[in-house]
Amino acid sequence: ELYPGPLASRVKAERRKALDAAQRDAVAACQAALLSPPDEATVAGKKMAEELRTRAALLERLAKEHEDVGPLYDVVAFEDAEGAWRVCVDTSEAGDLAACTLLEPFRVGRQYGTLDAVSLLNYAVDVMDGGRRVVITVDSGAHGTHVAGIIGAFFPDRPELNGVAPGCQIVSVKIGDTRLDGMETGTALVRALGAARERGVHLINMSFGEYANLDDCGRFVDMARQAVDKHDIIFVTSAGNNGPALTTGGAPGTSSAVISVGAFASRQMMQPQYSLRSNQLSDIQYTWSSRGPTADGADLVCVSAPGGAIAPVPNWTLQGRQLMNGTSMSSPNACGGLALLLSGLIARGAKWSVRRVRLAIEATAITTPNAAGAEVERWSLGRG
């Protein structure tokens, strides 16, 4: 349940490889013993020969029927002398807690651990219900890390790898259920909005979404609207990846309360990301970027931003960065830009509101011509 699907497949393959090597050694030893079997004329020899034949058959059966159920970890939670909760996950699987990482809840100590050197899966912990429940949190895929990297990756020694707003502080809230292949759930979305309000965030980026029967309604949409209207949280989200047909937006991008972002490819992106040799091409809207209007007549796309990026991915992917495309990438690009804008406003002591910020970016967005020299349609590009 902890491992993302691609990681589970890789770890199972590596564990199977190690098991097969040990299995071959055991089979070889058994076969070598059978080449010079004990004297079955004696009771002890007969029993030993039968044992060797049974062992060989069992090893052959195990090789065919073995099912890897994964590692088994014990979890210990306790209060230290100062009353702070500490958690130890026995990743040694042998009770050797001295070899394991002692963690505080992430919200307190910003600490994390790694399950093992094979998976390289990082995890954080929290303690709930007065110590009766420990929550272990891992990512459900590479998507969230990539999105967060676009917003605020920070590499002091390699600034070319930085995100749009490398000085921002990110509150990461998991909404994708690993058991559902990373699909978000309504309960997780509601909890995420509550966590955002509790921590006083200025912006929310949600690079998630899918088709909904009814636009701009429902429990989550109502809570998102409250976050915007009552708590002055700027809510940025992806428009969807179901273009180029009209009215192809996904929720929550179809809500009028959020800033829904479409995806375009700039000339500066084309060579490093897609290896195009010509630099004479114009900026284009990705064909798959969802188009408006929504079913209830709203625009859908507020503005557009670069819809592709080479950004960080988790360690368990065994690579440092990866190219991904989608409005999931354009949304954090826009959110990072808004973080810079808010940072400047707050530093100057300027008054701001969600509506004024949205009006400002819509009024100053730049429209781009397509290959024929005409402006890209508003249903696709938004205000620019």
Q: Which of 73, 51, 80 is nearest to 121 (CA)?
A: 73
pLDDT in tens, 345-382: 999 999 999 999 999 999 999 887 765 556 778 888 99
Three-state DSSP state, 192 = helix
The helix/strand/coil state of 131 is helix
Q: What are phi and psi of 312, to 5 degrees?
A: -60, 150
- The one-letter amino acid at 260: S
For 374, the token pair is 């005409």
Contacts of 302 (CB under 8 A, 6+ apart): 259, 260, 261, 358, 361, 362, 382, 383
pLDDT of residue 306: 96
Question: Which residues are CB-neighbours of 306 under 8 A, at least 6 positions away?
Answer: 263, 264, 265, 266, 269, 329, 330, 333
Q: pTM of the prediction?
A: 0.88
Which CATH topology does 143-381 take? Rossmann fold (3.40.50)
**Cα–Cα distance between 229 and 173 in angstroms, integer?**
21
C-alpha–C-alpha distance, residues 222 and 227, integer Å:
9
CB–CB of 86/102 below 8 Å?
yes
Q: What is the pLDDT of residue 151?
A: 98
Residue 159's pLDDT is what? 93
Q: What is the pLDDT of residue 370?
A: 62
> What ranges make up the beta strands (E) of 129-196?
133-137, 176-177, 183-184
What's the pLDDT at 114? 94
The list of the chain residues with pLDDT below 70 reads 279, 370-374
